[in-house]
Structure 1
Amino acid sequence: MHTPCIDFWCSRFAMLPKLLSLIKHCIHSQWLRQLLCILLAFTTPFANATLSSPPKVVASIKPIQLIAAAITEGVSSPEVLLPPGASPHHFALKPNHIRQVNEADLLIWVSPTLESFLPKLLSQKASQSTLKLISLPEIKLLHDQHSHEHSNTEHGNKHDEHLLDIDPHIWLGPDNALVIAQQIMLKLSDIDKERATLYRDNFVRFKNQLNKLNKTLKPQLQPDSLLPLVVFHNAYGYLEHYYNLPVVDYVSASPERMLGVKQVISLREHLKTLGKTCLFVEPQFNSAIVDNLIDGLPITIASLDPLASDIKVQGDAYILFLKQILTTVSQCRREQ
């Protein structure tokens, strides 16, 4: 004996095979696939709307900004304090820079000997929102033999006095760049836990890109195959140390410091003894000094920029920056 209720459900189950067949047909139809894509496009932004705003990342100088950009790719674009072409050695903060520092969720800087304009301002900022790179225990530091020339720099406090003889150009060492990227990743993962996986994935990508670049270019940088190298200013110690480059001299300890007549004569006499040589100038170099140095000597001029002024900020920007430098150096080869 059938009740109306039983008859109702029996009729519905009897229709199940037909319903499944209809669903299968619809899934294979082009118009439904298009409809699903449209629905997905409209619903994805709402799904992501639950994420909080990404942290504001500010780097003191462009090369550090490039490393940070590798970690924040797909999340945000880090800002930078120093405008293109500005030197950190003699930079003065303006009100908009102070605002940048105060509003930053993460402020990344190198050292009080490089950015002497920052320590006093950062003393008022929470330590968890800053990353002082020179103090990272994993960073390999080199001594700056000419640190006495910066003795008039304001260093913030006596705790930093041990940094006076340390070369602050740590970003030019690929091993240090990897440490910097990892520490930025860890810091951002702690500040922005929602995107921690993305930061870790970006770090792994950066590491793989750096390893690939070294595998490609390091064989072209064997010291025996390169001409003697003279750099414009004493900033390339980490690059020289990592790749064992034959850097034999420099024009100036600081790009802002003018050479005296005696120094020019002494350097020129040294260059005469080297024979064929590569001299690397920088965007802000004094061409008159260089012309006097190389006049009549077998010296090839090339350009390096340790501050990456012409590099566009993007995820692989630091890799492109390092590749540009290494490619330029590798072209200074001895005749086979």
Structure 2
Amino acid sequence: MSRKLLTLSWAATLMGGAAFAEAPQVASDIAPVHSLVARVMEGVGTPELIIQSGASPHEYSLRPSEAAALQNAELMFWIGPDLTPWLEDTIATLAPNAAVTTLLETDGTIELEFRENALFEAHDHEDHADDDGHDDDHDDDHKDHDEHAEEGHDAEGHEEHDDHGDEEAGHEGHDHGAHDPHAWLSPQNAMTWLNVIAGQLSAADPDNAGAYFANAAAGRSEIETLIGEVASTLDPVRDGRFIVFHDAYQYFEKDFDFSASGAISIGDASDPSPARIAGIQERIAEEGIDCVLSEPQFNPGLVKTVLDGTEAQTGILDPLGSDLEPGPGLYPQLIRNLSTALAGCM
């Protein structure tokens, strides 16, 4: 390489290093959010990941390095207390001066009701639109989701399951919010959040605003392409029926009109009651469920119990991307992996 090229390369490295050094200190809670933030910051800086993706965010103990990253953060992006109630006080204590963005509360975010029941009446694919009425909301950019989710929850067919009252009694005093916090599994939400993230970063770092918004626009375009890819993957198995380990996927289900028949555990992944397990086993036996899906963050023993005596297949869904490299590419690969895992299991 000539001396001139070496000099230009050295200068470019210095400029790149300067841009990186001047970027604000940014932290995010879970790997999918970290991925979206990293996509917006690409070429400018790198956010810190607070909760490692191999662990459940519902219950987590911060490592010293993660606590230090949070303490140093000037901006913090997180889903919110509905997912990690334990993190709310931690943020207030360790990062009292940070600009905190609670993504679940941002304008334009689709929010769905937290579901307590084990069985989802929307499992009947032929009557899907009539059963839960969400198809109109889906076509209309998911408007009025809070109202719709309440209607769907009231019509979930509780009268068919006399043991539901006992199941709810088993969850008395359990700490979870009103909304399902797994909102990152809606690519529509992800596209909204890319803009939110770019706006917050630009306010803190106006010199790099152009890069942030350009990255957000490119990220949205990538997700739009991904949505078509996922829909094509799911199309051949849309008549299939599946049970998930815990109720983390209804945002994905709504975005792609591909509904689960039930969940072994509720959305906070708390231990299911015997009545809930019995209800799931009954549905598998009566309706010929094709697939029961486990998760890498939780004990697979419950899935084995549910599958006992059935012919259903089993597979793994990973809502956090625990086996993926953290960074800009994790989010699209996570969504892609969900679709391929579902299609492969059925």
Asked if Structure 1 and Structure 2 have the same fold, meaning a TM-score greater than 0.5 normalized by the shorter chain, the answer is yes
Q: Distance in 2 between matches of 1:272 and 1:192?
A: 57
- Selected match of 1:221 from 221, 224, 234: 234
Partner of residue 82 from structure 1, selected from 21, 29, 51:
51
3-state secondary structure, aligned to 1:301? strand
Whole-angstrom CA distance in 1 between matches of 2:65 and 2:172: 27
Aligned length: 292
2:74 to 96, 102, 105: 105
Change (3 A) 1:74 1:271: same
CA distance in 2, matches of 1:214, 1:116: 31
Q: 1:71 corresponds to which residue?
A: 40
Residue identity matched to 1:134 = L
- Which shows bigger deviation, 71-80 or 242-251? 71-80
Q: Which residue of 1 aligns with 2:333?
A: 320
Residue 85 of structure 1 aligns to a residue whose secondary structure is coil
Shift of 1:224: 6.9
Partner of 1:139: 109
Q: Which residue identity lines up with residue 36 of structure 1 in the other structure?
A: K
Q: Distance in 2 between matches of 1:305 and 1:150?
A: 28
CA contact (8 A) 2:38 2:46 kept: yes
User: Conserved in 2, the CA contact under 8 Å of 1:255 and 1:285?
Assistant: no
Aligned-partner residue type, residue 57 of structure 1: V
- Judge which range, 39-48 or 208-217, deviates more: 39-48
Gap regions ≥5 residues in structure 1: 1-32, 154-162
SS in structure 2 of the partner of residue 331 of structure 1: helix
Aligned amino acid, residue 222 of structure 2 = Q
Query: Which is higher, the Rg of structure 1 or of structure 2?
Result: 1
- Confirm or deny that 1:36 pairs with 2:4: yes
Q: Is 2:83–2:268's contact at 8 Å kept on the other side of the alignment?
A: no
Further displaced range: 88-97 or 57-66: 88-97
1:156 counterpart residue number: none
Q: Indicate conservation of the 8 Å contact 1:230/1:279, yes or no.
A: yes
Deviation at 1:93, TM superposition (A): 4.1
Q: Distance in 1 between matches of 2:250 and 2:268?
A: 15
Q: 1:260 to 1:49 in 2, by over 3 A?
A: closer
1:69–1:314 CA contact under 8 A, matched in 2: yes
> Would you say the 8 A contact 1:62–1:307 is kept in 2?
yes
* Aligned partner (choices 239, 244, 251) of residue 238 of structure 1: 251
**Length-normalised TM-score, structure 2:** 0.76
Q: CA deviation at 1:151?
A: 4.3
Q: CA deviation at 1:86?
A: 2.4
Q: Report the secondary structure of 2:112's partner residue.
A: coil
Whole-Å separation in 1 of the counterparts to 2:174 and 2:326: 33
> Structure 2: any 5+ residue segments left out of the alignment?
118-167
In 2, Cα distance between the equivalents of 1:50 and 1:254? 43
Match in the other structure for 1:179: 192
CA distance in 2, matches of 1:55, 1:241: 35
Secondary structure, aligned partner of 2:86: coil
Q: CA contact under 8 A between 1:93 and 1:117: conserved in structure 2?
A: no
Letter in 2 for 1:59: S
| Mapped partners of 1:67, 1:194: distance in 2 | 20
Identity of aligned residues (%): 25
Q: Deviations over 1:160-181 (max 9, x none)?
A: xxx8211111100000011111
Are residues 95 and 331 of structure 1, via their aligned partners in 2, closer, same or farther at CA, if it must alter by over 3 Å?
closer
Please tell me whether the aligned partners of residues 63 and 308 of structure 1 are also in contact (alpha carbons under 8 angstroms). yes
CA RMSD of aligned residues (A): 2.6
